[in-house]
Amino acid sequence: MAQTGTQGARGLGEGLKQLDGLSVVPPATNIVVVIIVKPGLTPRRLCDNLACNGVLALPFGDDRIRMVLYREVDEAAVDRAIEATEASLQP
């Protein structure tokens, strides 16, 4: 089912905030800001790990990354991004 970028961002934010080591700023747009609270994990390292798992994100400050969703990103892709993020948090 098609969704807007904002709807996808809300779903992604809800899924990511369930993962240990992350906190999420509730998205009001299609941008998800993820705060890294896992000791020793840097934004660059998380973004590199995500890229290895097929998800693109950008470092956004000292303890955050930014993920942007577009209309073309469906619910299955959001689920894959959550799974990839969980895998990227593993040592």
Per-residue pLDDT at 33: 98
Confidence of residue 2 (pLDDT cuts 50, 70, 90): low
What digits encode the pLDDT tens for the residues 35-50? Answer: 999 999 999 999 999 9
What digits encode the pLDDT tens for the residues 17-29? Answer: 999 999 999 999 9
Cα 78 from Cα 27, distance rounded (Å): 14
Question: Phi and psi (nearest 5°) for 65?
Answer: -130, 160
